[in-house]
Structure 1
Amino acid sequence: MAPSAIPIEPSVEYTQHSDLAAGKIVVKSLNGDKLQNKIKDSTSKQPFDIISSTISFRKPEHQFWWDKTGSQLAELLKYAGYSKAEQYNELLFYGVHIVPELGPTPDENGHLTWKSPQTPDGTPLDLSWEWGLEGKGVIRTSFEPIGPMAGTQQDPFNRFETDTWIKHLDDQGLVTGLDLEWYNHFMATVLPSELERVSMTEKLNFELAPVAGTFVTRDIDRNGPIIKLYIFPGLRAQELGISNLDVVVRAIRSLPAEQYASLRCEPMLEYLHEAAEKWKMDVGIFSFDLISPQQSRLKIYTRAPNTTVEYLMDALMLGGRYDMSMYSEEAIADVKDFWRIFIGDAPSELPSSVERAGPGFYFTVKAGKPTTPKVYISPASFCKDDAEVLKRLRQYFSTRKNADKMLPQMDNYEKALQSIYGDDFLSSTSDIHFYVSCALAKDHLRVVTYLCPQTLAREELARKKRMVIG
């Protein structure tokens, strides 16, 4: 997209949607020409600097989130190979439509009424990098919309903010192709209907189940953005006294008959029940795209304490129900290598007390397509720090046939993380890479790494240092 195509709306303060944006943001340049002139006149400044000089936030918490996380997104976009025009477009959308949804910041004592269980330190945002085969990455943002009173008596469940944000996108026509049919169906069938019947437990709070029950992602895809919704079925399961899997199965089977039949998902659902017994596999998250049901993908995220290659292959083959003949021997070898490199010498079964321990799978179904299983692993269970995660990623890519394209991307990825976190922090924490993921394609593996900005963790470190100095 050329700079001249960057969308700058005339009513930039979004006063037409007072619940979301009125009073939150002032855009200093009220028309595209002025912003384009800034872009043309700038030879040394980066897109983040230009956007920062174009918009300002009336609330300090919004300025905080923009300064801390917008700069990280900017670094990832730059090193992933996005054009300057694409960087401007994505950063502007992020600043105007996502930053105001990230909620309050910690008070002077480090207290925060709402910490998102989406990430290890409670930051309500994660950023992911999909490793493109041609040397460029695809960056995605994932966040939990947080209401101003979330975690207080007025809004103990942060119940409404996701819905408000989605309806805002729909009302303003901000995402081409946005379709809310499945959104309305699954919000009604996977989230609890009576919150007073749900009691939060420590397990529920950690087990990928924020009490709101949802978070949102926006794929910054090179073909255009896609909005995805993620729902945690644990609260509905507690309300009804059934398993997470049963909640998801009931929701899928209650789709209109034609839609359900087109998914051809019965073999997957049968396997998930089987794997619950065989591997102690548990369902953690249910996800879908907010596009037409004919094009949308359903995803069921699971994990188990087992780490063996036998478990890996059983899940990939859906217990023998899935024909893997479409994949080359090289692709099968790749997924086994990826698994072994990140699992290392871990015991064959991990203790249940280890947070986010077990490697897992997410199973994707789409109308007219076969089910596809994908791997995700929490490196913190197997690597001493994030510097080691980088070493293992490099080990994997350096031994692939397309190493000549992947290693330059690995160099850029390391540069981005060094710029964002610094070498000392990368060597002192294991919570930046909270997941590494891979999926089989015909003759290769598609790899995605999921990054926690560590915004709240680093703020807490800074607060403690100030206390020592003071």
Structure 2
Amino acid sequence: MQLIAQNLGVFPTLDYAQSWERFMTDEGSPVELSWDWGTDDSRPTIRYSIEPIGLTADTSFDPLNLLVGEAFESQLVKALPNLRVEWLRHFQDFFKDRGNNGCESVNSHDHSTSIFYAFDLTDTNTTAKAYFLPKFRAIARKESNLKVLMQAIQIAPYSSEGNLNALSIFSDFSNDTASAHLEYEMLAIDLIDPQQSRLKIYFRCRETSFNSVASRQASTVGSYTGAVYRALKDGTLIEAVMDLLETSE
């Protein structure tokens, strides 16, 4: 889409490269491609994600890349008429609270990204998703990222005690002392009917040992997805992966 290309910041040249640090990709590229290989009878889906970047991002005019957002969203709504914005508006309004010193409190070596978008492409449809990073509100209010994420979900339109059972399970998992080392980075939603949308909380585990990967806490959300943990522990999951690799060679 044309609106994507014109919202990727300044085109780099030999004399100038935009200094805005993108959280989305490690090497700083403006677009990240991915594939959903599908399950059962569903077909694979091509996906990509972008962070809208203004021409004056990371300058004195727009140090936190906030000026591009409204124009980009307006263009996106026109390009995708079936887009639903109720949750987009709610979470944007909730997370934009940066306080008086929010941006000054961010580590100078850390990123300043607050939102990016992703798109799932099928033969007949394009589904948009939005990803929100809670750290500015968390810093401004001296609260944890996790607490801010939980608050945002609990007061979202259409949220109720009856349809937040999964959040209750996740809360038990995240409050377990064994999960204390996890870092909660962002929240993602589908820009569709909020009652059909997924809510995805992304967290990071910096431990890279096999035991940490096979941990009941990190990879199975405690005991709530015990089948994965058991498959890791008894080796059947590893054997299945190795068989798949051998078959593909």
The aligned amino acid for 1:98 is: I
Matched, 1:225 2:137: no
**Match among 319, 323, 333 for residue 222 of structure 2:** 319
**Separation in 2 of the partners of 1:334 and 1:293?**
39
Matched, 1:286 2:187: yes
Match of 2:169 in 1: 267
Tell me by how many angstroms 1:143 deviates: 0.4
**Separation in 2 of the partners of 1:181 and 1:214?**
16
Please, which runs of 5 or more residues in structure 1 have no aligned partner?
1-92, 206-210, 342-392, 412-470
Tell me by how many angstroms 1:169 deviates: 2.1
In percent, how many aligned pairs have the same letter?
26
**Match among 33, 52, 58 for residue 127 of structure 1:** 33
**Match among 94, 103, 106 for residue 189 of structure 1:** 94
**Separation in 2 of the partners of 1:223 and 1:312?**
40
Matched, 1:242 2:143: yes
**Separation in 1 of the partners of 2:36 and 2:235?**
16
Whether the aligned pair in 1 keeps the contact of 2:158 and 2:195 (CA below 8 Å) is: no
The aligned amino acid for 1:267 is: I
Tell me by how many angstroms 1:160 deviates: 3.2
**Separation in 2 of the partners of 1:135 and 1:177?**
22
After superposition, the C-alpha distances for 1:125-151 in whole angstroms (9 at most, x for unaligned) are 111122346797421110001111111
Specify whether residues 101 and 126 from structure 1 end up closer, same or farther in structure 2 by C-alpha distance, changes over 3 A only: same
TM-score by length of 1: 0.46
Q: 1 or 2, which has the higher helix percentage?
A: 1
Whether the aligned pair in 2 keeps the contact of 1:189 and 1:251 (CA below 8 Å) is: yes
**Separation in 2 of the partners of 1:195 and 1:106?**
33
**Separation in 1 of the partners of 2:183 and 2:16?**
34
Match of 1:439 in 2: none
SS of 1:112's partner is coil
Specify whether residues 103 and 398 from structure 1 end up closer, same or farther in structure 2 by C-alpha distance, changes over 3 A only: same
**Separation in 1 of the partners of 2:85 and 2:116?**
15
Whether the aligned pair in 2 keeps the contact of 1:186 and 1:251 (CA below 8 Å) is: yes
Tell me by how many angstroms 1:269 deviates: 1.6
**Separation in 1 of the partners of 2:159 and 2:139?**
30
**Separation in 1 of the partners of 2:237 and 2:96?**
36
Tell me by how many angstroms 1:219 deviates: 0.9
**Match among 80, 88, 103 for residue 198 of structure 1:** 103
The aligned amino acid for 2:58 is: G
Larger CA Rg, structure 1 vs 2: 1
Match of 2:4 in 1: 98
Tell me by how many angstroms 1:183 deviates: 0.7
**Matched residue pairs, number?**
244
**Separation in 2 of the partners of 1:187 and 1:260?**
22
Match of 2:61 in 1: 154
Match of 1:138 in 2: 45
**Match among 172, 177, 195 for residue 82 of structure 2:** 177
Whether the aligned pair in 2 keeps the contact of 1:162 and 1:215 (CA below 8 Å) is: no
Matched, 1:305 2:211: no
SS of 2:35's partner is strand
**Separation in 1 of the partners of 2:233 and 2:125?**
31
**Separation in 2 of the partners of 1:215 and 1:153?**
22
Tell me by how many angstroms 1:113 deviates: 3.1
